[in-house]
Structure 1
Amino acid sequence: MAKLQRLIRDNRGFLVLLLFFGLFRTAVADWNPIPSGSMRPNLLEGDVVFVNRLAFNVKVPLTDVIVAKTAEPQRGDIVTFSSPADGTRLIKRLVALPGDVVEMRHKRLVINGQPDSYVPQGAGIEPVPGVVDGLRALRMEEQGAAPGSPQRTIQWLPDVAARDDFGPVTVPADHFLMLGDNRDNSADSRYFGLVPRKLLIGRAERILVSADILDHWQPRFNRFGKSLY
């Protein structure tokens, strides 16, 4: 016990710095490594994004208790949140707000009875372990018909059977519907349901750094500092 007390006393300044750093990360700003391809082609495995934890809520550190609301989430925001299924930290795109009636028909979103529009943007490759050449990916520019919906590039995998049809679902108060941009390779609200506001962590705003995990962690300097909006 005496040794522990001496260790704490001798390192008091460093321990206080660690405490404030931890509180800063849990309450103000954070970074989030991208571990999967669910947000391709906009976020890649190996990207590390800056997360503004004060974008929507002020919370008691280390809890989901909301002290104050700072702003309302918007369609198109890239959001980090805790999965309502198991608490895993996820990052997806917010596509529907409270009061929206949402459905998907043959991969195409319909919000409040208005279908989104889709314009082909070319082909890509989806890396898949064990598949030498990967899978064919079709990239589309998706434009939401709902007011305030920004354009975004999404990706379909025509050769993959996914949940291409769901709903209609009415989003209740203080809940949001999240989808991955890589629509056929994303576990999102089609599987775990709507996300309550208290589980929102923050808005991802910028790529801080990036490395290609499939090429010996080579830096992708062209992605450093890239804005997500």
Structure 2
Amino acid sequence: MRGWFKNNKGFLVFLICFGFFRTAIADWNPIPSGSMRPNLLEGDVVFVNRLAYDLKLPLSNHVLVHLGEPQRGDVVTFSSPKDGTRLIKRLIALPGDRVEMRQGRLRINGEEAAYEEIESLPEPVEPWGLVPALRMTEKVADGQRRVQHLQGVLARDLPATVIPPGQYLMLGDNRDNSADSRFIGTVPRELLIGRAVRILASADIKGSWLPRFERFGQRL
């Protein structure tokens, strides 16, 4: 056994360094579902900056030092407070914000979002197949993003809520098809993993499995 360690110490050092890098510095995250459509598609692989907010003890949620503050509009990977599943959503509201959603319309600190239609098209929704979808630009709280609503499907309302200290509210951009803070509650800071920065690679995993080269390198 001692000889095996001696003969493979270079590989073991590489594994340790690689594990430290992925759990403390940077990571990549495959997109398995359509909850962030139209901005992230199934089969995208995003680069995640784990040092965007906190330096953590590797392989744990223990925060060693705060490095930056989460911002509204960030695309964030985090562990679900409900069951620990890794999720990726958009950060919509900060601690102290008053937020609500009624009939798909978002309101933050008394300001109702303005919506501008971009296009209407069929979108794949399991297990029903293609469903008519409306894509819009949502502008609120000095930020804007593309969001999607499924026609004939009403998003779960979010009653007026003040976000507690140290907590963040997350929503999927595909508002009618996302298990987000409307279902799992607000997310404590220590469960934030990092900020998704750009798309590293992409493949059409729901169809041909061919690479989508036009998505490589896109910033979020």
- TM-score past 0.5 threshold: yes
2:206 maps to which residue? 214
Structure 2 residue runs of 5 or longer lacking an equivalent are none
From 139, 145, 150, give the equivalent of 2:135.
139
CA contact (8 A) 2:104 2:154 kept: no
2:59 maps to which residue? 62
1:13 maps to which residue? 10
What pairs with 1:92-111 in structure 2 (closer than 5 Å)? Answer: 92-111=89-108
Q: How many residues align?
A: 220
What pairs with 1:82-161 in structure 2 (closer than 5 Å)? Answer: 82-129=79-126, 131=128, 134-144=130-140, 146=141, 149-161=142-154
From 147, 163, 166, give the equivalent of 1:171.
163
Q: Counterpart of 2:210 in structure 1: which amino acid?
A: Q
1:81 maps to which residue? 78
1:131, CA displacement in angstroms?
A: 4.3
1:8, CA displacement in angstroms?
A: 1.9
Structure 1 residue runs of 5 or longer lacking an equivalent are none
Q: Counterpart of 1:142 in structure 2: which amino acid?
A: E
Q: Distance in 1 between matches of 2:47 and 2:189?
A: 20
2:36 maps to which residue? 39
Q: Distance in 2 between matches of 1:77 and 1:13?
A: 38
1:184 maps to which residue? 176
Q: Distance in 2 between matches of 1:129 and 1:40?
A: 14
- 1:65-102: per-residue Cα shift (whole Å, max 9, x none)? 11111111110000000000000000000000010001
> What TM-score do the two structures reach when normalised by structure 1?
0.93
1:150, CA displacement in angstroms?
A: 1.8
Q: Distance in 2 between matches of 1:191 and 1:130?
A: 20
- 1:99-157: per-residue Cα shift (whole Å, max 9, x none)? 0001001100111111011011111222134545x11110010001x2xx321000000
CA contact (8 A) 2:103 2:155 kept: no
Q: Distance in 1 between matches of 2:128 and 2:82?
A: 30
Matched-pair identity in %: 61
Q: Counterpart of 2:148 in structure 1: which amino acid?
A: Q
Q: Distance in 1 between matches of 2:92 and 2:213?
A: 30
Q: Distance in 1 between matches of 2:136 and 2:188?
A: 29
Q: Counterpart of 1:33 in structure 2: which amino acid?
A: P
Flag the 1:210–1:12 CA change in 2: closer, same or farther, 3 A. Answer: same
Q: Distance in 2 between matches of 1:139 and 1:121?
A: 5
Q: Report the 3-state secondary structure (helix = DSSP H, G, I; strand = E; otherwise coil) of the residue aligned with 2:99.
A: strand
Q: Report the 3-state secondary structure (helix = DSSP H, G, I; strand = E; otherwise coil) of the residue aligned with 1:219.
A: coil
2:191 maps to which residue? 199
